[in-house]
Amino acid sequence: MTEPTTLPAGTRPLTVRRGAVHDTVRTHLARGRGVLLTGPTGIGRTTVTHQLIADLRGQGHRILHCSPSPVEKNTPFLGLIDLLADLGDDALAALAAHERAALEGALLRSAPRAGTGRGAEAGPEGGREALVLRIAVRKVVALLCGAGPCLLVVDDTQWLDRATADVLNYIARRVGPGFSVLATLRSETEPGPSPAGPDGAVSALDLCPRPVRQIPVPPMTVHEIAELLERHDQPPWPRRLVARLHEASGGNPRAALELSAALDERVRTQGLDGTELPDCLEALPVPDCLRRPLVDRIDALPAHARDTLVLAGAAVRPTVELLRRAGRRHAGADLDVCVRHGLVRAPVPSDHEAITFLDPLTPVVLRAETPYEQVMAAHRALADASDDAVERAHHIARLTAAPDPAVAAGLSAAASAARRRGAPRTAARLGRMAAAYTPAGQEYADVDRRLTAAEDAIEAGDLGFARQLAHEALGGAERPADRVRAWNVVIDSCGQAMAEIADVFPEAVRDAAGDPALLAQLHYRMSWRAWMVGGSAARAHGHAVRAAGLAARTGDRYTELMALTQQAALELFLGLPGAEATLAAALAAPHHVPAMTHHNGPLYLKYRFHLVRDELDAARTELRALVYRLRQRGSADSLSQCLIGLAQVEIQRGRCGPALTIARQSLRITEEAGLSQGPAWYAVALAETAGGSLSRALTAAEAARRHSEDDNDRLFLPRALHAEGRIRLFRGQSERAVELLACTGELETAQGQRDPATRRWHADLAEALAATGRPDEADAVLATGRRQAERLARTGVLATLDRAAAVVAAQRGELTDAAALLESAAGRLRISGYPLEEARARVALGRVRRRLGDEGSAHAAFAAALRVFTKADARPLAVLARAERDRAQDDAVRLPEGGLWSEQLTSTEQSVVARVAQGASNREIAAGLVVSVKTVEAALTRAYRKLGAKSRVDITRMVMSRPTA
């Protein structure tokens, strides 16, 4: 029986945990069902399987595991032998003699009987023997399930022998509760055809109990590939190269490791340094282990199909129509042949849809394996046939060996076309090519093309490539405008990590040479640095005001709008009265489209003004419209930031499920684009706290804090600390919560925060202080927040402060006043549209009512909070509210802990029986104990058997008439 490798203690695993697919599979298996994991070679099916085996074995599951190989496919019962290798004689003792004999014969534990030399499937008698064997295996597996949950794992079912597959097909639908199956299948083998033999044999899906769920193992993200390379001690490649490795491998971890190793070998062999690594125009080296399978498939093609494939591989966006215009009249039929050879994804799209290669390395290998003359002929044919400027310019460039002004101009025009259609990554690549084809003596054009490409790369989220292009431009730039433009790219490409570029600003200001238009751009960026790195909103405000004034004088509307937006945001944070007027000026005509769709632009800031005024629906409307526009055409950074804002709004509106989805989208975009991850992890922490799990929320908050500290981002660090502090508060870790929330308050106050609606930490800190017995300190925090909130008429903030004040009063023993204040706060929070905050107030009210001895009102308050949390899908908070409600019930009705009937039951069974005696339904019991209904039913069934009861009436009579001790 094959087992996963166990790592020595303290060793970092080489694999990356695939959280989403892992959790999905575990959830389905926990219900006693079947899962079929699919995916191409190297995608990580076996890795995910081994991780699941380790987790479930640690939870007490019995694991039956086999991993067949190609050479074992025609050996009968070899899979069964592996599955039952650890089966002891005691497990066979319950079988009838003929059943045991059949099973021992199949497992080769006894000699075959006379006349059955060909095994259990020979002749009519063999058919009977096969049925006996299946019954025996079913009985053994059922016996194992009786001792605890049992998981049967078949890795690589395409190599499973036919005899074992028939047995597993039989037991899949005949073993009862506690039995589940996890099978894996290489995606080149579809689940319909047999994994074990010719037509009519068992399919991979037939090995699993119903309902079976087929789950494809997804490709890894850029972030996961980067983590994988690090764990395998691969070189610390620049971000742009990691992105290229991800793209070339298609997210396949095995392929990414092989490509990285081949690249490392080339670097070491050729003695290259960090500046000589492959750029976007140079192909990555493909190792033989990845190249050879593709070459074998390509060589197996007929000549006409291969010629069509060469043409498709040379195209930027291959379509059947383009290939036909380029001379391949039978392109559709040729591509069907390529589909059958596993080179092109099926089905072949319509004539105008893009053709997709199954392996992204196919065009690279195809080009290397094709004579140079044929490749050039393909580019020539495609250049003549294409009616798309981008496609045509690409092929003309490939046909040109030396710098050429006409080719450079064509590539520059193609980059502009790509930019207009919302493809900044393509525009950046074409712009870089245009610069490469610009002849000597045209330095101004060369620099302009590199900088334009760098700005496109910023828009595409390819920050490393943008920095590379900016530094290339600085090497040849002489004009102040070009140099400042390049420095701006360097600054913008740093994201939240502006602390890393402290030396850039003095050089940029020196290069600006006093030009007010250039200084406006720099002062705008210095405003961000003063806030994020310097931690001073006041100094940042001064830079923003100066930038807006200089930009207005010089007619730079984009910089003016961005600076006015920054000025308005800072005035809001500082609590200055002119914030609304400044935002109105930024929103006034004439508009500038890039500024209006930027995450630091006035439309984005508008939603934050809605939030501080408790206008949640209006804030959501603004953000949804902006997100829609950015999905159509916008930068990854802007889309990620808008999704972060939208997730926060949805949480406040009590839509926790959608908020969690949106926050995870933001993180995925951030990871794939290589952006600073602190803000996205912060959003995930908030969403997990509201609608996921507190443990995952804590992990996310810690990641947000770590990224913000690494970036020295003092703007987002307080938010990360606040998120972690709230989680600690909910988990009852009050002392740690005070430390984190107090640090949040110190940082925000030092930055100059004067509007408590912009960062709502005051109430949480006060509640944490009250929980640790420091009511006077809590009062001081609340007094500061209240003064600011009253001055600015922040109704929602005042209601949450009243909730916290009531908690402080309760800590002092002023229970009647606390209850009245909580009733009022809950009502005002409901009116203001903050359901989760309202429910928190009702939980606090329940605690106070319970301390006052009013059990009925306490139960009603907890139940009301639970209804709100449940409607909002706020699962972690619902669990906390349910625990409070049940604690109140348990205080009212003490469960017997010993005696005549309870001593026969487990603690879970005692709890279930006690609640049955109180008249609770199974669903109510499950909700109260935070378990599934099936768990309640199973516990009750066992209790019936142990107590000799036949009904709920018997249970109630027994508990009431036979009290414990």
Residue scoring higher pLDDT (226 or 904): 226
Q: DSSP secondary structure string, 643-670?
A: HHHHHHHHHHTT-HHHHHHHHHHHHHHH
Rounded to 5°, angle at Cα 419 from 418 and 424: 95
Mean pLDDT rounded to a whole number for the chain: 86
Average pLDDT on 520-548 reads 94
pLDDT at 126: 52
**597, 626 Cβ separation under 8 angstroms:** yes
Say how far apart CA 230 and CA 251 lie, in whole Å. Answer: 15
> Residue 919 is encoded by which pair of tokens?
């008249």
Considering only 145-149, 169-173, 628-632, which range has the smallest mean pLDDT? 145-149
Could you give the percent of the chain with pLDDT greater than 90? 50
Question: For 219, what's the count of Cα atoms within 13 Å in the CB-facing half-sphere?
Answer: 17
State the pTM of this model: 0.70
pLDDT at 256: 92
SS3 of 64, please?
strand
Say how far apart CA 54 and CA 204 lie, in whole Å. Answer: 23
pLDDT at 276: 59
Could you give the percent of the chain with pLDDT greater than 70? 91
pLDDT grade, residue 837 (50/70/90)? very high
**913, 946 Cβ separation under 8 angstroms:** no
pLDDT digits (tens, 9 = 90+) for 45-100: 888 889 888 888 877 888 999 999 888 888 888 989 999 888 887 778 888 888 88
**447, 476 Cβ separation under 8 angstroms:** yes
CB atoms within 10 A of CB 148: 11
Closest C-alpha to 208, from 166, 180, 167, 185? 180
Q: Is the pLDDT of residue 192 over 60?
A: no
Average pLDDT on 737-762 reads 95
- The β-bridge partners of 890 are none
Rounded to 5°, angle at Cα 581 from 640 and 752: 65
pLDDT at 28: 78
Average pLDDT on 585-591 reads 93
Considering only 622-626, 682-686, 868-872, 886-890, which range has the smallest mean pLDDT? 886-890
pLDDT grade, residue 6 (50/70/90)? very low
Q: Which amino acid is at 88?
A: G
Alpha helices in 653-751 (DSSP H): 656-673, 678-691, 694-710, 717-730, 734-751
- Residue 813's region, left for phi above 0, alpha for psi from -120 to 50, else beta, is left
State the sign of the Cα–Cα–Cα–Cα dihedral 525, 528, 534, 536. positive
Say how far apart CA 620 and CA 614 lie, in whole Å. Answer: 11
**48, 38 Cβ separation under 8 angstroms:** no
SS3 of 868, please?
helix
> Residue 715 is encoded by which pair of tokens?
């703007």
**700 phi and psi, to 5 degrees?**
-65, -40
Task: Kindly state the helix (H) or strand (E) to which residue 34 belongs, with its residue range.
Answer: strand 34-39
pLDDT at 111: 61
- What's the chain's length in residues? 965
Q: Is the pLDDT of residue 781 over 90?
A: yes
Q: Is the pLDDT of residue 16 over 90?
A: no
> Residue 540 is encoded by which pair of tokens?
């940042």
pLDDT at 199: 47
> Residue 137 is encoded by which pair of tokens?
């295996």
Listed in sequence order, the residues at least 6 apart from 928 whose beta carbon sits closer than 8 Å to its beta carbon are 882, 885, 886, 889, 915, 920
Average pLDDT on 604-614 reads 95
Say how far apart CA 274 and CA 468 lie, in whole Å. Answer: 11
C-alpha torsion angle, residues 188, 194, 198, 199 (rounded to 10): -110
Q: Is the pLDDT of residue 576 over 90?
A: yes
pLDDT at 816: 93
pLDDT digits (tens, 9 = 90+) for 507-531: 999 999 999 999 999 999 999 999 9
**496, 711 Cβ separation under 8 angstroms:** yes
pLDDT grade, residue 179 (50/70/90)? confident
**4 phi and psi, to 5 degrees?**
-70, 150
**763, 801 Cβ separation under 8 angstroms:** yes
In this structure, the strands spanning 150-154 and 212-216 are unpaired
**457 phi and psi, to 5 degrees?**
-65, -40
Residue scoring higher pLDDT (176 or 582): 582
CA 78 to chain centre: 39
Q: Is the pLDDT of residue 840 over 70?
A: yes
pLDDT at 471: 92
pLDDT at 325: 93
Q: Is the pLDDT of residue 32 over 90?
A: no
pLDDT digits (tens, 9 = 90+) for 652-662: 999 999 999 99
pLDDT grade, residue 921 (50/70/90)? confident
What is the gyration radius of the CA atoms in the chain, in angstroms?
Answer: 34
Q: Which amino acid is at 185?
A: L
Residue scoring higher pLDDT (290 or 178): 290
Q: Which amino acid is at 561?
A: L
Closest C-alpha to 544, from 583, 587, 493, 499? 583
Say how far apart CA 229 and CA 396 lie, in whole Å. Answer: 37
pLDDT at 5: 38
> Residue 86 is encoded by which pair of tokens?
């650890």
Average pLDDT on 540-566 reads 96
Whether residue 360 has a cis bond before it, omega within 30° of 0: no
Task: Kindly state the helix (H) or strand (E) to which residue 182 belongs, with its residue range.
Answer: strand 179-186
pLDDT digits (tens, 9 = 90+) for 263-287: 988 888 877 665 556 666 677 889 9
Q: Is the pLDDT of residue 19 over 90?
A: no
813 to each of 129, 232, 775, 852, 861, how far by Cα in Å?
Answer: 78, 58, 11, 10, 19
Burial code (b: 16+ CB inside 10 Å, e: under 16) for 472-500 equals bbbeebeebbbbbbbbbbbbbbbbbbbbe
- The β-bridge partners of 179 are 150
Q: Is the pLDDT of residue 836 over 90?
A: yes
Say how far apart CA 222 and CA 671 lie, in whole Å. Answer: 6
Instruction: Show the beta-strand stretches assigned E in 190-244.
Output: 212-216
Average pLDDT on 473-496 reads 92
Q: Which amino acid is at 446?
A: D
| Biggest alpha carbon–alpha carbon distance for the chain | 104
Q: Is the pLDDT of residue 588 over 50?
A: yes
pLDDT digits (tens, 9 = 90+) for 340-395: 998 998 777 778 888 999 889 999 999 999 999 999 999 999 999 998 888 899 89
Say how far apart CA 409 and CA 426 lie, in whole Å. Answer: 16
pLDDT at 871: 94
Q: 636-652 vs 656-673: helix axis angle to the nearest 10?
A: 160
Closest C-alpha to 324, from 352, 359, 296, 292? 352
Say how far apart CA 310 and CA 379 lie, in whole Å. Answer: 10
696 to each of 517, 730, 731, 740, how far by Cα in Å?
Answer: 47, 13, 13, 18
**431, 412 Cβ separation under 8 angstroms:** yes
Considering only 113-122, 322-331, 499-508, 776-785, which range has the smallest mean pLDDT? 113-122
pLDDT grade, residue 202 (50/70/90)? low
Q: Is the pLDDT of residue 24 over 90?
A: no
Q: Is the pLDDT of residue 908 over 80?
A: no
pLDDT at 415: 92
Q: Is the pLDDT of residue 338 over 90?
A: yes
Average pLDDT on 811-838 reads 95
Residue scoring higher pLDDT (964 or 316): 316
Average pLDDT on 224-239 reads 85
**885, 864 Cβ separation under 8 angstroms:** no
Say how far apart CA 79 and CA 159 lie, in whole Å. Answer: 9
Say how far apart CA 888 and CA 882 lie, in whole Å. Answer: 10
Closest C-alpha to 623, from 649, 592, 589, 653? 649
pLDDT at 420: 86
34 to each of 37, 149, 540, 567, 793, how far by Cα in Å?
Answer: 10, 13, 58, 58, 57
